[in-house]
Amino acid sequence: MGVNIKASHIIKPSEPTWEGVSSLSDWDQIGVTTHILTIYFYKPSKEWLESSNLIFDTLKGAMSCALLVVSGGYIGQGRLELLCNGSGVELIEAESNFGDFSCTSQFKDLVPDVDYDKPIDELPLMYAQVTVFCCGGISLGVTVSHIVADGRSALHFMKEWARLARGEPIEMAPYIDYTLLKAQDSPRVQIAPGVDLIPPVPLVIGKENSLEERKKPTMVSIPPLTKEQDAEKVHPYSRYEVVAAHVWRSACKARGHQDEQPTGLGFSIDIRGLMNPPLPSKYFGNAILDVCGTRFGEIKTQPLRCTCGKMGEAIEKANDEYVWANSQCFKTLPDFTPFQDLHSRKKESGPLSGPFYGNPNIGVISWLNLPIYGLDFGWGKEIHMGPGTHDSDGDVLVLPGPLDDGSLTIALCLQVAHTDDFKKYFYENISCKNQISS
């Protein structure tokens, strides 16, 4: 693409901040070492080519104010903690000779690269990169550590950063109190014998691990769904459950699973409203419960509502007691290790990311209820927003269409060998609402 890094700036809080060590919650301990990657594109402007410094100055000034909440890194031996020291975050200036950025889906060079070979205490809490194109357009690529924030928290920070850049006050400060999700020394909820809260993620029949599947080449496709193609009502299931089940079924067909092949559908549930009492809506941290429904390859020929039922079962039983029981159950797993130990177990490619939702599984994450659009730093709203990188087999992201017209965008990564067949099956059975609900 031809991206040139011009400069890199460490942006520190505009005023002295509290310094000390903050213990992260139990849910931050059982998360992943990856970062949440997002990218925003803004329409071309000749003024930006002539005064690009104004863009960076605006973002730097607003960032220094936004960092008054927290800035630092990770520390800890067995248990991960947050060292608040006002060390700031890195903002990168870049330029590209690529003229029409709307024609490319190769966003890798537009999002800061995180080196996961470094010790975990050297990983950044956040990176940001602003790239100016020769056409006058700009992109903003952002990485936020998933150790300290889930998607809702990361987007909350982005929204407040944009407000400050526009010269407006913060609308709502993040609620930071990690003790709300820190279990006591003795479990609040006892796990009944034989209860399998966290079922193992299925493997390809005959395989002892997923290493071979992880190494296979993948590619990203973004099949759109218009409102007319989308089945919003397959009683009693939600729109997201229906679409996720359809993606799961289509993937099983594309992969050629036999009826006896076990397969899993992983997805996340926001627990803020499930706790008793509920967490504050602006709770900053990880407040999601990863669950996995399992079935067999026979879902290829079964009615979609049967597949939806597996998701419905997991959602229905998710409450305060179930959340705490899962927290305790994670710690009893034979392969659960603290972050530092987990990070030291190098994977063949990329950061360690927990269970493998590639073949024969699928992981479908919903951004349907997140405020992902309308990020205005003072030069208008973005013309495109999406995940920065998305290259792990089985990773699926469901986003609302950017025009608020009822359409959906499915950002999906599968092995190259299965991608074309997936597209065929995906649209083959979704051409009308009657077909998807069958």
- Tell me the pLDDT band of 199, cut-offs 50, 70 and 90: low
pLDDT for the residue 347: 41
Higher pLDDT, 187 or 372: 372
Instruction: Please give the domain boundaries of the chain with CATH numbers for all domains.
Output: 3-181 (3.30.559.10), 211-373+389-436 (3.30.559.10)
Instruction: Report pLDDT digits (tens) over 348-376.
Output: 444 444 678 899 999 999 999 898 999 99
- Strand duo 362-366 + 395-400: pairing: parallel
CB burial of residue 259 (10 Å; 0-12, 13-18, 19+): exposed
Q: Which two tokens stand for residue 391?
A: 């290259």
- Tell me the pLDDT band of 94, cut-offs 50, 70 and 90: very high
Of all residues in the chain, the percent with pLDDT exceeding 70 is: 79
pLDDT at 433 over 70: no
For residue 108, which phi and psi values (nearest 5 degrees)? -55, -40
Q: Which residues of 164-197 are buried (b: 16+ CB within 10 A; e: fewer)?
A: bbeeeeeeeebebebebbeeeeeeebeeeeeeeb
- Tell me the pLDDT band of 195, cut-offs 50, 70 and 90: very low
pLDDT at 387 over 90: no
Instruction: Report pLDDT digits (tens) over 297-334.
Output: 999 998 888 888 888 887 888 888 888 877 766 555 44
pLDDT at 35 over 50: yes
Catalytically annotated residue among 177, 270, 320, 376:
376
Model-level pTM? 0.86
What Å distances lie between residue 313 and 12, 194, 251, 310, CA to CA?
46, 18, 21, 5
pLDDT for the residue 21: 85
Provide DSSP, 133-164. ETTS-EEEEEEEETTT--HHHHHHHHHHHHHH
Q: What is the H or E stretch that residue 419 is in? A: helix 416-428
- Tell me the pLDDT band of 392, cut-offs 50, 70 and 90: confident
pLDDT at 47 over 90: no
Catalytically annotated residue among 26, 28, 35, 146:
146
What's the residue count for the chain?
A: 438
| Of 369, 366, 364, nearest in space to 413 by CA | 364
57 and 159 Cβ atoms separated by less than 8 Å: no
Q: What is the average pLDDT score of the chain? A: 81
- For the chain, report the end-to-end CA distance as a whole number of angstroms: 44
Question: Sheet holding 81-84: strands in order across?
Answer: 20-23, 81-84, 72-75
Q: Provide the β-strand partners of residue 393.
A: none
What does the alpha-carbon distance between residue 166 and residue 325 come to, in Å, rounded to a whole number? 44
6 and 118 Cβ atoms separated by less than 8 Å: no
Higher pLDDT, 437 or 113: 113
Of 129-143, 188-202, 262-276, 279-293, the range with the lowest mean pLDDT is 188-202
Identify whether 277 is preceded by a cis peptide bond (ω within 30 of 0): yes
pLDDT at 186 over 60: no
Q: Active-site residue 376, yes or no?
A: yes
Residues 6+ apart with CB under 8 A from 286: 25, 27, 28, 31, 146, 147, 148, 149, 150, 153, 181
pLDDT for the residue 156: 95
